[in-house]
Structure 1
Amino acid sequence: MASFLLKAAGVLVAAGAIGIGGWSFATGWHPAASQYPLQGLDLPENPGAIEWGTVRARGADFAYLVATSGKDRRDPGFEANWSAVPEAGLRRGAVHLYSLCQPGADQANAFNAFVPRTADALPAAVDVDYRADCTARPERADLVRELRTFITMVETHTRKPVLLRLSKPVESDYTISAAIERPVWATANLFPPAYAARAWRMWRASDIRRIDGIEGPVNWDVVAP
């Protein structure tokens, strides 16, 4: 009996070690830089304190920051991070979290009023996903029309084409990438996504990566070569 318990304990220890090792690999993984030379991260709302110099030293070339959500929410950390990112040697881009419950023009006005037009900025991104604070599911034609209005207004402000960051559920329901010809930013952990109607230009390859300089998991992205 004692021998059996010792063997069982050894198996559990080994399984635990494998589990810890697997999790460590997953949280440290990113696509090979030899295949995807341009890599960076995107932050959620209210990301907290960030050591941008350390983030740059860990291999980030760029950072996308949430600026606005819907027509009436501004991220409180955006302005400070927007200034700090280029000082650390990274390129910067702004993200708008699109609401299916509000007119595209109102949301574009909110974004344009808050995000400065700067020559060094990356193209703005509009994130289209289902969100807990909005249960609306508009008709496809209505959503595409409102998104086009948003995109036209933002591109007039920034003078650069907008990136479409499309979640798989929304793209599956609406096939937005087939209706609006803009660069696609797709998301899928570990394996390159193929759910959009067109090839992705940017890929969020991990939402669990851990790097020095940021507390908690990081959304890690790569640009198509």
Structure 2
Amino acid sequence: MRWLDALTLCLCLAAAGCTSGASDMMDGVGHPPRFQDTDPQDFAGRTPHRHDVHGIDLSKWNGDVDWASVRKSGVSFAFMKATEGGDRLDARFHEYWRGARAAGVHYAPYHFFYFCTPADIQADWFIANVPKDAVMLPPVLDAEWNPTSKTCRFRPEPPVVRQEMQRFMDRIEAHYGKRPLIYTTVDFHRENLEGHFQNHLFWVRAVSQHPSEIYPARNWAFWQYTSTGVVPGIDVPTDINVFSGTQKNWNAWVAAVSK
């Protein structure tokens, strides 16, 4: 399956709201996941628990990770922070991706975009710090506002936002040979991204409403549904995500993008 075919598959699945129909979450090896949520939401009956494939995202703030326990708990993939702006490397990044690889968890790095630094400088920084072995699944551009930043609260106009994002992603795709995913939040998406980047897979944050309610007309591939997850092998609250399609769809997509 070529990359574009895999992309089309995922977008169609997300648009259809495709799930397995199973009553229990499964980890792909026939076992119900053992992670929990301290603040579970019902999402108007469209629970993420009906999706086959679950994963986590993390940064240095998650501390020590027992990757074998994480995998056994039902986690199939992990997005991990690699870089931010043009001068920050997450202190746990290299430890995390190697641990995930050893445990058989699919993994990908993400870059937190900083709107006070040119896209090319950020791309140079990412490429300098993220080896190709650390990019199993496609890399991720984390595009959101950071109102608590002590150094940059600049909010460019939407056309500039999109231009800088596209430049960064073009550089990353050219280097790694994989089209980046876009992670975003409700407000940032509404102000900058609606109707744009249709050829990229989206990973959306929606912790109280289903994505279909707050991301109009956006086909999504990954859904971050909680930041209060309890995952065996991690001692602090952890973000948990789902893939939009079935286990079979996941296997096909991973095979296509992991080459």
> Against the structure 1 CA distance between its residues 119 and 26, is the aligned structure 2 distance closer, same or farther, given a 3 Å change threshold?
closer
Gaps of 5+ in 2: 1-35, 41-46, 246-259
Q: Distance in 1 between the 2:134 and 2:209 partners?
A: 33
Identity among equivalent positions (%) equals 28
Structure 1 residue 88: Cα displacement: 0.8
1:201 equivalent in structure 2: 221
1:63 and 1:119 map into 2 onto residues whose CA distance is 12
Aligned to 1:172: 190
Q: Once the 2 structures are TM-superposed, how far is the Cα of residue 63 of structure 1 from its aligned partner?
A: 0.8
What aligned pairs does 1:103-122 form with structure 2 within 5 A after superposition? 103-118=118-133, 121-122=136-137
Distance 1:98 1:39, change over 3 A: same
Bigger radius of gyration: 1
Match of 1:43 among 31, 37, 58: 58
Aligned length: 199
What aligned pairs does 1:9-158 form with structure 2 within 5 A after superposition? 26-27=37-38, 31-32=48-49, 35-118=50-133, 121-131=136-146, 132-133=148-149, 134-158=152-176
Give me the whole-angstrom Cα distance separating, in 2, the residues matched to 1:224 and 1:154: 24
Contact persistence 1:47–1:77 (CA under 8 A): no
Q: Mind listing any 5+ residue stretches in structure 1 that lack a counterpart?
A: 1-24
Q: Provide the residue aligned with 1:218 in structure 2.
A: 238
TM-score by structure 1 length? 0.82
Return closer, same or farther for 1:142/1:199 CA change in 2, 3 Å cut-off: same
Distance 2:194 2:176 in 1: 21
User: For 1:163 and 1:177, how far apart are their aligned partners in 2?
Assistant: 15
Of the two structures, which has the highest relative contact order with CA contacts closer than 8 Å and spacing of 6 or more?
Answer: 2
Please say if residues 111 and 126 of structure 2, whose CA atoms lie closer than 8 Å, have aligned partners that are also in contact: yes
Q: Shift of the alpha carbon at 1:200?
A: 0.9
AA in 2 matched with 1:178: G
* RMSD across aligned positions (CA): 2.0
What's the CA shift for 1:119?
8.5
1:8 alignment partner in structure 2? none
Aligned residue identity for 1:52: W
